[in-house]
Structure 1
Amino acid sequence: MNATGSGLRDIHTGSKNTNIQKAKNYIVLHDRGVPSTHSAIDKDTHAAKRKVMSHGFSEQALRGLEGFMVENISKWTNTLMEGASDESKGWSSPKDMATYANYLTFDVLGDLCFGKSLNLIESDKLRSIPKVMLARAIVFSTVGSTPLIPLYKFIVEKTPFEKYLMPEMSANMTKLVGFAAPALKERLMHKADVEKNGGTERKDFIYYLSEAKDPETGEGYSQIEFLAECRLLIAAGSDTSSLTLAAAFFYLTQNPEIAAKLSKELRDTFKSVEEIVTGPALNSCQYLRATIDETLRISPPVPSSLPREVTGSGMLISGEYVPTGTTVGTSAYAIHHSPDYFSNPHLFKPERWLPERTNKDELARAKSAFCPFSIGTRGCLGNTMAYNELSLALGRVFWSFDVRRQAGNNMGQDKFGEYGMRDIFITERDGPMVEFRRRADASVP
């Protein structure tokens, strides 16, 4: 395990010919034996899949996706006010933000991937779906770190024993497949009908991924690859954003003075909540971006290392020779808490990301170790979309509402005063319990 900026770059930013590749752990994440862009180990396979996937994350594509995000965010913000009354002086009932953040991010990704929301915000029918991601992460972090990988691969691909070995995960996966497979089929059939009749198609992930072709081979995704990628998008795009959103509420309600600065910036920038959309005005909200970056630093959504295997004749990492066959990685949590890169690393301090408030050398050092979305050719394709979703959600909430922690409730707090995360490659978490009150001069979001 290496927790240095040089090691981070050596492991993740080498060329195609560098003697390193994704570790065998990622076989566990193959979808019925089919690798996704995330789990593909072979570099050529990954490069081809990433080329196709990148069309869904272009600037044009993200502009088209924003409307679906905003629609879900608006519905979500309304639910935050449930339980408000004259008796409570306008404050809502307490909301577990780990749960409510899941509702939003999974609904957004379901909408973008399958043309219909999972509707976790309004219905409990599919609310067990987020447990699939946690269960698969536990399998990845346990089975993927042992010699059992070939056995697990055989069980999943060749036998029905998975439902007996991991019954809860199997049952929840069945629910996800029961939603995803027919929804994807219906969405693709609708796309074909619209095109046949000369109509205007909705520009979601399905649109861009079905249109995209590898420029070298002319091939797109097969049906089974399509489903694997859509499940990947839901897993990678929902749980990580959900953790960051919940953690942001934890730190902002723990530090009311920081929340006040954020609210003031937003309310000084926008005259109505409807104005809060991506673009120059939202980009000018530097304190909002610094708050998100500081949340990603202190509570990275994937705190563990992203395992890589040294190949060929070995390689140098931070100046030290590492032999072939060695599994290496840099833990985001470890490097984000290293005093070599961040002063007072357990202190939530958005100002550390503001050039006018931070020493130039300190800021450069911090940026050299910042890796919440990984870096290099395997870095997350969806980081811009994640920033957009987080900016829109936090921006609209802190413009519209006064926000506070439920009195006397420290759910989610660990011994360092940070947001408690149980590392299972991604994270299990609870809380915080947060209450909302509509600001007196705010229009209805």
Structure 2
Amino acid sequence: MDTISSFCFAKPIGATNAPGFHAAPVIALDTALPLMHIFVHFPTIRKLMMKTPPSWLALWDKSLEGYLHLRTMLGQQIRDILADPSTLSNAPHPIIYHSLLGIKDPIDDIGSINKPLISRPISTSDLDEEAFLLVFAGSDTGGNVLSSGLIRILDNPRVHQRLKQELQEAWPSLENKPRYEDLEKLPYLRAVVKESLRMNHAVVNPMTRVVPKGGASIGGHFVPEGTTVGMSNCFVHWNETLFSPDARVFRPERWLEPEAENLDSWLVSFGKGPRSCLGINLGNCELYLAFANIFRKFDLRLDGFSATDLKWRDVYLPLHIGSDMNIFAAPSIA
């Protein structure tokens, strides 16, 4: 959440500095996550909740106080920008409002004015919706892939050792930090990232689409125009024909085999086509940097938890259930 709030709004919320890592906004999102099914299937309830004063929500559920803080922070930023767009010149880097409002990028050497991403006039509620969408989409998705991937790596000594060895060879001195561009060239790290994305799926609930005019042929069947269709990423990622053998087994080596390039088109964690995730590059950057830093800088082992304990239920995203994921960690001596 620190990454997405810094990148999109230039206002990090300081989640990683919270005592015990119990950051109120993170807890608030975790509390709200089980409501996603209600919001998806009953949009009127979502709209009512968005119009409900945050202080009322906090009275209803104290764990939503972090939501109040986040909404207040973003709302104030939006109001300040709409009142005086020149305040964007104080941002340390381009943020989402430069593009949404078509305001000149202060770091743009060309000096041209951006074309607004939304053609109609943008209201405060429009910007509020966009901001919260980015926070929700950019937090739990990457966090889930990192946590579940971490457990699966540590639960497999062979994978763990091979990853550590590659990182130690490519990053011999901790003082000389590699760039993302260097890390994404490491074959086994790349395989680990892809397999972690495949096994977590990102979004597990079917992403609905409406069949365009004229209808379409889907899976050999004609579907008339206007029909709402969708398919879960799980059915692709766990397909034994595509990811054989053992599609439900965490095996990074599958991405290093001769036919591995053919698998890339079936990795749909970020979606595909014109409606694919806007944050795919940022998401990949986070995963490479996080996995590399964690496994290069620390010696880790599981504490009473294994990959078989990774159970989740579908609340649009995979919501992990059960005991906490506990890990012993010590600074790496190499």
Q: TM tier, shorter chain?
A: 0.7 to 0.9
Q: Rate the CA distance shift 1:304–1:248 in 2: closer, same or farther, 3 A.
A: same
Q: Is the 8 A contact 2:31 2:64 kept in 1?
A: no
Q: Which residue of 2 aligns with 1:205?
A: 95
1:379 pairs with one of 267, 273, 276? 276
Q: Which residue of 2 aligns with 1:388?
A: 285
Letter matched to residue 247 of structure 1 = S
Q: Which residue of 1 aligns with 2:25?
A: 129
Say how many residue pairs are matched.
318
Shift of residue 434 of structure 1? 1.2
Query: Relative contact order (C-alpha < 8 Å, sep 6+): which is higher?
Result: 1
Q: Is the 8 A contact 2:10 2:93 kept in 1?
A: no
The answer to whether structure 1 residue 366 and structure 2 residue 257 are counterparts is no
Shift of residue 138 of structure 1? 3.4
2:126 pairs with one of 222, 225, 239? 225
Q: Hey, what's the Cα distance between the residues in 2 that align with 1:201 and 1:382?
A: 20
Q: Which residue of 1 aligns with 2:110?
A: none
Shift of residue 351 of structure 1? 0.9
1:138 pairs with one of 28, 34, 37? 34
Q: Which residue of 1 aligns with 2:109?
A: none
Q: Hey, what's the Cα distance between the residues in 2 that align with 1:162 and 1:144?
A: 24
Q: Is the 8 A contact 1:290 1:350 kept in 2?
A: yes
Q: Rate the CA distance shift 1:397–1:188 in 2: closer, same or farther, 3 A.
A: farther
Q: Is the 8 A contact 1:315 1:322 kept in 2?
A: yes
Letter matched to residue 35 of structure 2 = V
What are structure 1's unaligned runs of at least 5 residues? 1-105
Q: Is the 8 A contact 1:115 1:187 kept in 2?
A: no
Q: Which residue of 2 aligns with 1:173?
A: 67
Shift of residue 302 of structure 1? 0.9
Q: Deviations over 1:151-189 (max 9, x none)?
A: 42663477779957x933865532321232235556899
Q: Is the 8 A contact 1:249 1:432 kept in 2?
A: no
What TM-score comes out, normalization by structure 2 length?
0.81
Q: Which residue of 2 aligns with 1:437?
A: 330
Q: Hey, what's the Cα distance between the residues in 1 that align with 2:51 and 2:229?
A: 30
Q: Which residue of 2 aligns with 1:347?
A: 249
Letter matched to residue 18 of structure 2 = S
Q: Is the 8 A contact 1:128 1:172 kept in 2?
A: yes
Q: Is the 8 A contact 1:116 1:183 kept in 2?
A: no
Letter matched to residue 203 of structure 1 = H
Q: Deviations over 1:348-381 (max 9, x none)?
A: 1111111xxx142xx2553332100000100011
Q: Hey, what's the Cα distance between the residues in 1 that align with 2:88 and 2:70?
A: 26
Q: Percent of pairs identical after alignment?
A: 25
Q: Hey, what's the Cα distance between the residues in 2 that align with 1:185 and 1:158?
A: 16
Letter matched to residue 191 of structure 2 = A
Shift of residue 291 of structure 1? 0.3
Q: Which residue of 2 aligns with 1:107?
A: 2
Partner secondary structure for residue 273 of structure 1: coil
Q: Deviations over 1:200-221 (max 9, x none)?
A: 8511425753536327988885
1:117 pairs with one of 12, 31, 37? 12
Q: Hey, what's the Cα distance between the residues in 2 that align with 1:359 and 1:418?
A: 32
Aligned-residue RMSD, C-alpha:
3.5
Shift of residue 325 of structure 1? 4.3
What are structure 2's unaligned runs of at least 5 residues? 106-113
Q: Is the 8 A contact 2:78 2:124 kept in 1?
A: no
Q: Hey, what's the Cα distance between the residues in 2 that align with 1:322 and 1:340?
A: 25
What TM-score comes out, normalization by structure 1 length?
0.62
Q: Which residue of 1 aligns with 2:148?
A: 247
Partner secondary structure for residue 421 of structure 1: strand
Q: Is the 8 A contact 1:115 1:183 kept in 2?
A: no
